[in-house]
Amino acid sequence: MGRNKNNKQHASLPDNNNFENPVSMNVDDEIIEDVAATSNLTDDRTSADYYFDSYSHFGIHEEMLKDVVRTKTYQNVIYKNDFLVKGKVVLDVGAGTGILSLFCAKAGAKHVYAVECSHMADMAKEIVEANGYSDVITVLKGKIEEIDLPVKVDIIVSEWMGYFLLYENMLNTVLYARDKWLVENGIVFPDKASLYLTAIEDAEYKEDKIEFWNNVYGFDMSCIKKQAMVEPLVDTVDQNQIVTNSHLLKTMDISKMTPGDASFTAPFRLVAERNDYIHALVAYFDVSFTKCHKLMGFSTGPRSRNTHWKQTVLYLEDRITICEGEAIVGTMTVSQNKKNPRDIDIMLEYSFSGQHCVVSRTQSYKMR
């Protein structure tokens, strides 16, 4: 399967060759290395709050900084399009260690306001000072909805995306900042995000993770199987597992959309490219920076270089036997959980009528 079977988490090189290869750019790594070294500190705090406090620990920031596709793309967007940044006021939403703020400062920004809610803001201040940018970067500790800026900003930069694009994301926070602080005709980095769906063969892994519960040392534990089916799996999918085309579910224009646009129902049609079995659907996303001199961005798809977002696997209750040219059709409904808007509820309705089987089913998933 090409996967580490113990690598589940709660929830690259681009598929689209219109994107520049972020790894091939000959840009310096001094700031990334400096930040990674400075953030590698022990922290004896515990997570009182699941989301914000989780970003107080250096480990999650180390993982993101070492995601070369992610970090190099932002670096290249800013350095290779410095004409967009020079002399401008920038707001970094969810600044973390301050790496994006440092990129902007080095590219000639007039001033950067780095807003970070977690305790990592304290580390970000030290990092900014250690790198000599205290006169350009102001680190503000707090929620974007509660802080005040002295001026409007020309650019908002943020790495807001979560697993499945929308799980535990900061999109609503970015949209709030856009509406309150961005000047008219200002720029949001990135400004486009697209969610895709494809289908895979995954017999071995499904047997190991799902069917396992049917018979555990001679005992029926299938009640856990039902729970396992409801929870999407975040993992790396081997491109050789892909059976169908990829279907674009949703494209979001971050410069224009409203918070409600992140909840949607979208149709899909997945056409088999070979004879095989289908055990799961897989979701992934692309982001793009369309205001650049040349289109830049990255994909988190299974045909792209791995990122820390990996892909999101939704197992089907049915094993579908499909022949080349046959299609699974359906709709996917994505909505914020009412109790916790950072969680995602997914409803999948699909049908298939092929040479070897006929299926029609509705399944619900919860990303928690």
Determine the Cα–Cα distance for residues 123 and 257; give it in Å rounded to an integer: 33
- Round the average pLDDT of the chain to a whole number and report it: 88
Q: Measure CA 284 to chain center.
A: 8
pLDDT tens digits, 93-102: 999 999 999 9
Which residues, at least 6 apart from 341, have a Cβ–Cβ distance to it below 8 Å? 172
From residue 308, how far is each of 101, 238, 301 by CA, in Å?
Answer: 21, 15, 12
Which two structure tokens, joined as six digits, stand for 173? 């926070």
Quick one: which H or E segment has residue 169? Answer: none
Determine the Cα–Cα distance for residues 114 and 52; give it in Å rounded to an integer: 16
Q: pLDDT tier at 4 (50, 70, 90 boundaries)?
A: very low
Determine the Cα–Cα distance for residues 255 and 262; give it in Å rounded to an integer: 13
User: What is the pLDDT, as a whole number, of residue 39?
Assistant: 43
173, 94 in Cβ contact below 8 A?
yes
Determine the Cα–Cα distance for residues 94 and 79; give it in Å rounded to an integer: 20
Q: Which of 10-14, 198-202, 275-279 has the lowest mean pLDDT?
A: 10-14
- The answer, yes or no, to whether residue 7 has pLDDT greater than 60, is no
pLDDT tens digits, 16-48: 445 655 554 444 555 555 554 444 444 444 333
Determine the Cα–Cα distance for residues 135 and 260; give it in Å rounded to an integer: 38
Please calculate the CA angle 57-181-154 and round it to the nearest 5 degrees. 95
Output the DSSP codes for 282-297: EEEEEEEETTSSS-EE
From residue 78, how far is each of 46, 191, 253 by CA, in Å?
Answer: 35, 14, 19
The answer to whether the pTM exceeds 0.75 is yes
pLDDT tens digits, 50-96: 444 545 567 777 988 899 999 999 999 999 999 999 999 999 999 99
User: In this predicted model, which residue has the larger pLDDT, 14 or 175?
Assistant: 175
The crossing angle, in degrees rounded to 10, of helices 99-106 and 68-79 is 30
pLDDT tens digits, 337-349: 988 888 999 999 9
pLDDT tens digits, 132-189: 999 999 999 999 999 999 999 999 999 999 999 999 889 999 999 999 999 999 999 9
The identity of residue 77, as a single letter, is V
User: What is the pLDDT, as a whole number, of residue 34?
Assistant: 52
Q: Which residue in 93, 96, 92, 114 sits closest to 55, CA to CA?
A: 96
List active site positions.
Answer: 159, 168
User: What is the pLDDT, as a whole number, of residue 58?
Assistant: 73
User: What is the pLDDT, as a whole number, of residue 31?
Assistant: 52
Q: Measure CA 172 to chain center.
A: 14
